[in-house]
């Protein structure tokens, strides 16, 4: 059984913590691991195989770093040139799994990277008990037993029982239904015949591809062409961009699951949530006696049923209730907890106005480490740069800016033109405009330095790379 982790998406309803360049699946929202890492960790000891992770180009180094921390990095990250929904993503994974398992047809467990499951033992038991259905050629989807009428999820109506194949009863899928209004959702829950559509699946790679060929041969053909000319790059698999761009945008539900006669729904009651908003995160989090959830440096007085998140400073509340307050280094959100779904409207407004706060954080991660923009003004910018041991920035030059580096901690190896220097703490170096340069950390501890930029144009795209260990252009 091979896990296939879908790690795309932007999680805009969890802004300002979740952003395009660092979305919710890579954040530590529920404990000290990211949601991607928690997703993989909950599979132990049920599955020992390395996962196949599908993500987009911009997140490749984040995924690689988080898999490396779990010792699960094995040239197993497939990069989508563009987002084409779940059916093409799963097709790429199925083709890759077949290629790597030439002597058998592997079973794939399809999971989203950004779901929370509170009872992980029950989750593993349900997956284990659903295996016989997948082994017999069925396409299994896991239906979440609803705890309340919910208008934010799609539903699956069960059909006839399929007793006999498993210790738990699976059901034929009678139909998939779209997100209902509240009256319809109440009727669904009261009937006992409907489950929330979790977006988790279990099936043999070959069976999925057979059904896809039957119902959506255009998707299969485009993905086969994309996988026929792959470009291995470090730990990444780059598919043929032109071929994948021609692939239709379609979900697995529409492409296959709603059409196949072999769809099976297996009920699951394991404390599942897709953490689609701050209110849903509040619901699944541990609360204090006043019903509040605190993260970071928070002091509350006469505050009830609120979610308060402080990333980099003290946040205080007085005399409020049912609020979401989220503070990051460059933005603050204050919202009625019952209107948390509408945070995406703020994100849409940020996009429309050309601002950057929806796209990236003040602190930006790179394969070599990270940088934090401390201050900026007319013709200057100040950053704190952290370079991981043994890593280094590209050999580069800038047309519009000069730089001054001051080492705060660690040792810097600096290439400046034809000269190479080692700098220790409190030492500095000036990088003139137009001079080729490179920064590396040859030591065993992180390198921290302050970079002061000055010039007529200071953005990140003023860079000409001559050499890069990470394969960036």
Q: How far is it, in rounded angstroms, from Cα 52 to Cα 73?
A: 10
CATH 2.60.120.10 in the chain, residue ranges: 363-467
Rounded to two decimals, the pTM is 0.89
Dist CA 228 CA 245 (whole Å)? 14
Residues of the chain with pLDDT under 50: none
Host H or E run for residue 126: helix 120-135
Residue among 200, 109, 123, 110 at smallest CA distance from 154: 200
pLDDT of residue 165: 62
Domain with CATH 3.90.550.10 in the chain: 2-273
Q: How far apart are CA 141 and CA 199, in angstroms?
A: 7
CATH of region 2-273: 3.90.550.10
CB proximity list for 149: less than 8 A, separation 6 or greater: 182, 185, 186, 188, 189
The whole-number pLDDT of residue 468 equals 87
Query: Do 408 and 449 touch, CB atoms closer than 8 A?
Result: yes
> 307 exposed, middle or buried (CB, 10 Å; 0-12, 13-18, 19+)?
buried
C-alpha span between 293 and 284 (Å, rounded): 10
For residue range 167-195, list pLDDT tens digits in order. Answer: 578 999 999 999 999 999 999 999 999 99
All residues at 6 or more sequence positions from 352 whose CB lies less than 8 Å from its CB, including other chains: none
Alpha-carbon gap, residue 193 to 212, rounded angstroms: 27
Crossing angle between the packed helical segments 205-215 and 86-100, to the nearest 10 degrees: 130
pLDDT at 162: 85
88: helix, coil or strand? helix
Fold for the domain defined by 363-467 = Jelly Rolls (2.60.120)
Residues 45, 50, 51, 53: is their CA dihedral positive or negative? positive
For residues 47 and 364, the answer to whether their CB atoms sit within 8 Å is no
> Helix or strand or coil: residue 456?
coil
Q: Are strands 428-431 and 401-409 parallel, antiparallel or unpaired?
A: antiparallel
């Amino acid at each position: 059984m091979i896990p296939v982790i879908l790690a795309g998406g932007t999680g805009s309803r969890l802004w300002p913590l979740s952003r395009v360049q660092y979305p919710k699946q890579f954040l530590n929202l529920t404990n000290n691991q990211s949601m991607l890492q928690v997703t993989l960790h909950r599979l132990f000891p049920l599955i020992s195989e390395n996962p196949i992770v599908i993500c987009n180009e911009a997140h490749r180094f984040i995924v690689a770093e988080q898999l490396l921390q779990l010792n699960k990095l094995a040239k197993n990250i497939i990069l989508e040139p563009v987002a084409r929904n779940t059916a093409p993503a799963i097709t790429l994974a199925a083709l890759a799994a077949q290629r790597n398992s030439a002597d058998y047809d592997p079973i794939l467990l399809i999971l989203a990277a950004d779901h929370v499951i509170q009872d992980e033992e029950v989750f593993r038991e349900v997956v284990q008990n659903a295996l016989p259905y997948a082994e017999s050629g069925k396409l299994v989807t896991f239906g979440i037993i609803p705890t309340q009428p919910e208008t934010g999820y799609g539903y699956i109506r069960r059909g006839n029982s399929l007793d006999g194949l498993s210790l738990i009863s699976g059901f034929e899928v009678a139909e998939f239904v779209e997100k209902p209004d509240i009256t319809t959702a109440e009727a669904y829950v009261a009937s006992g015949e409907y489950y929330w559509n979790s977006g988790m699946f279990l099936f043999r790679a070959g069976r999925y591809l057979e059904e896809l060929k039957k119902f959506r041969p255009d998707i299969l053909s485009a993905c086969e062409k994309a996988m026929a000319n792959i470009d291995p790059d470090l730990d990444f698999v780059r598919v043929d961009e032109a071929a994948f761009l021609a692939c239709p945008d379609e979900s697995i539900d529409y492409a296959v699951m709603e059409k196949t006669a072999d769809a099976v729904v297996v009920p699951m009651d394991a404390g599942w949530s897709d953490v689609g908003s701050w209110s849903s995160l509040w619901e699944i989090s541990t609360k204090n006696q006043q019903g509040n959830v605190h993260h970071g440096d928070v002091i509350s007085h006469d505050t009830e049923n609120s979610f308060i998140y402080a990333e980099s400073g003290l946040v205080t509340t007085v005399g409020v209730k049912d609020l979401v307050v989220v503070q990051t280094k460059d933005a603050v959100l204050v919202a009625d907890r019952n209107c948390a779904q509408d945070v995406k409207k703020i994100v849409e407004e940020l996009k429309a106005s050309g601002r950057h706060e929806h796209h990236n954080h003040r602190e930006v991660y790179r394969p070599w480490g990270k940088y934090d923009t401390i201050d900026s003004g007319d013709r200057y910018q100040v950053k704190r740069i952290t370079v991981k041991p043994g890593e280094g920035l590209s050999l580069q030059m800038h047309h519009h800016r000069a730089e001054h580096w001051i080492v705060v901690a660690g040792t810097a190896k600096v290439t400046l033109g034809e000269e190479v220097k080692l700098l220790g703490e409190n030492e500095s170096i000036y990088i003139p405009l137009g001079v080729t340069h490179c920064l590396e950390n040859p030591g065993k501890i992180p390198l921290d330095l302050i970079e002061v930029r000055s010039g007529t144009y200071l953005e990140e795209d003023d860079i000409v790379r001559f050499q890069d260990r990470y394969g960036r252009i």
